[in-house]
C-alpha cells in the first residue's frame, strides 16, 4: 500500500508541470527611432511660470542619448487562453505636478477607475477626448486635490490634456482589455511576462511615430526578443 501511494504522488507532480496545462513565455526588447532624431522645439511657457517654469521640452517624443524611445505602447493581440485583465483593488493614480501629467502614457485595465491628483498650488483641468468611454472635462483647482474618474469600460486610446496649459500638458490613457501590454521606459526597454505559448501579432504604437506591427513566437523554452525601430510619420 505504501509503495502504491508514492507512485501516485509522483504521477500527480508530473502532470502538474507537464505541458498539457500550457507553458508560458515572455517577450522583452527595446524600441528605437530609425533615422535622425527630429528637432524638438522648446515650449515657451507664459502662464503660471512660478509653478510651470519658463520653458520645457514637449513630452510628445522622449528619446535617450541613443535614440531609444520612451512611452511606446507594446500590445500582444488576441492571446487565446490568456488571462483576463486585473483591475487593481485601489484606483490608479494619475498625477498633475509641475504642470506635467505623470505618467505620460498610462495603461488602464478595462473596469478600472483613476484618482486624478492635482499636487500643484494652481488650477489645472483634466480633459479626456474619449469616444467609447465617458469623457471627462473638469477644472481641478488646488481646493479639489482629487477627482475620481468613472470606470473605463471599453478598450480605447484616449488623448488627455489640460486646457489651461494647452500645448504643455498632454498625456494618453491606453484602456486595455488584455494584460499583455507594456510601455517602454526611458531606455526604450519593455518586458511582458506570463504569455501563453503561441504565435501572435504585436503592435507598437507611439503618438508621434509610425505604427509597427509584426509577428512574434512565444515559447516557454526561452524569452522572445523584440527590437523595433520606429520611423517618423
Ligand atoms: Cu494645467
Is 72 contained in some domain? yes
Instruction: Tell me the CA–centroid distance for residue 207 and ligand 1, in Å.
Output: 20
CATH code of the domain covering residue 91: 2.60.40.420
Give the end of a domain, one of 161, 177, 193.
177
- Which of 157, 177, 197 terminates a domain? The answer is 177
Task: Tell me, yes or no, whether 62 and 117 share the same domain.
Answer: no
Q: Are residues 107 and 135 in the same domain?
A: yes
Q: Are 75 and 183 found together in one domain?
A: yes
> What is the 194 CA–ligand 1 centroid distance (Å)?
38
Residue 130 CA, ligand 1 centroid: distance in Å: 19
Closest CA to 178 of 44, 62, 81: 81
Last residue of some domain: 139, 159, 177?
Answer: 177
Report the chain (233 residues): mean pLDDT per 10 consecutive residues: 42 42 90 92 96 96 96 95 92 98 98 98 98 97 97 98 97 97 98 96 97 96 94 92
Check which CATH number belongs to the domain holding 195 and give it.
Answer: 2.60.40.4130
| pTM for the structure as a whole | 0.89
Q: State the distance from the centre of ligand 1 to the C-alpha of 189, rounded, in angstroms.
A: 29
State whether 171 and 96 are in the same domain: yes
pLDDT for 4 equals 41
Between the CA of 170 and the centroid of ligand 1 the distance, in Å, is 9
- CA 156 – ligand 1 centroid, Å: 23
d(CA 160, CA 147): 15
Asked if residue 143 is part of any domain, the answer here is yes
- Asked whether residue 27 is domain-assigned, the answer is yes
- 221: region left, alpha or beta (phi > 0 left; psi from -120 to 50 alpha): alpha
Residues 154 and 225 in one domain: no
Same domain for 118 and 165, yes or no, is yes
- 23-to-124, 219, 225 alpha-carbon distances in Å: 47, 8, 17
Cα-to-centroid distance, 216 and ligand 1 (Å): 40
Cα of 155 from ligand 1 centre, angstroms: 26
Q: How far is the CA of 15 from the centre of ligand 1 (A)?
A: 57
Q: Which residue has the cell 508621434?
A: 208
Cα angle 146-139-156, degrees, rounded to a multiple of 5: 80
Structural domain includes residue 232: yes
Count: domains in the chain: 2
Distance in Å, CA 211 to ligand 1 centroid: 29
Residue 210, φ and ψ in degrees, nearest 5: -70, 140
Quote the ligand 1 centre to 229 CA distance (angstroms): 33
* Domain boundaries, position 149: 85-177
Neighbouring CB atoms inside 10 A of 103's CB total 17
- 99 and 73 share a domain? no
Specify if 124 maps to a domain: yes
pLDDT at 21: 59
Query: Do 74 and 108 fall into the same domain?
Result: no
Residue 16 lies in a domain: no
Structure-block grid coordinates of residue 208: 508621434
Cα(121)–Cα(51) distance, integer angstroms: 8
pLDDT value of position 11 = 44
Amino acid at each position: 500500500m505504501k509503495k502504491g501511494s508514492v507512485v501516485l504522488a509522483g504521477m500527480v507532480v508530473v502532470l502538474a508541470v507537464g505541458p498539457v496545462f500550457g507553458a508560458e513565455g515572455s517577450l522583452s526588447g527595446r524600441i528605437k527611432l530609425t533615422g535622425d532624431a527630429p528637432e524638438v522645439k522648446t515650449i515657451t511657457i507664459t502662464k503660471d511660470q512660478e509653478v510651470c517654469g519658463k520653458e520645457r521640452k514637449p513630452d510628445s517624443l522622449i528619446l535617450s542619448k541613443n535614440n531609444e524611445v520612451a512611452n511606446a505602447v507594446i500590445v500582444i493581440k488576441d492571446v487565446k487562453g490568456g488571462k483576463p485583465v486585473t483591475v487593481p483593488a485601489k484606483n490608479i493614480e494619475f498625477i498633475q505636478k509641475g504642470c506635467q501629467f505623470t505618467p505620460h502614457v498610462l495603461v488602464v485595465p478595462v473596469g478600472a477607475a483613476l484618482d486624478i491628483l492635482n499636487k500643484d498650488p494652481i488650477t489645472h483641468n483634466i480633459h479626456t477626448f474619449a469616444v467609447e468611454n465617458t469623457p471627462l472635462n473638469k477644472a481641478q483647482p488646488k481646493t479639489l486635490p482629487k477627482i475620481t474618474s468613472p470606470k473605463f469600460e471599453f478598450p480605447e486610446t484616449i488623448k488627455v490634456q489640460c486646457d489651461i496649459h494647452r500645448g504643455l500638458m498632454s498625456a494618453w490613457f491606453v484602456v486595455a482589455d488584455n494584460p499583455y501590454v507594456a510601455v517602454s521606459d526611458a531606455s526604450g526597454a519593455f518586458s511582458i511576462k506570463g504569455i501563453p505559448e503561441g504565435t501572435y501579432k504585436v503592435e507598437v504604437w507611439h503618438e508621434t511615430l509610425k505604427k509597427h506591427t509584426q509577428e512574434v513566437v512565444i515559447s516557454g523554452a526561452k524569452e522572445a526578443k523584440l527590437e523595433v525601430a520606429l520611423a517618423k510619420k
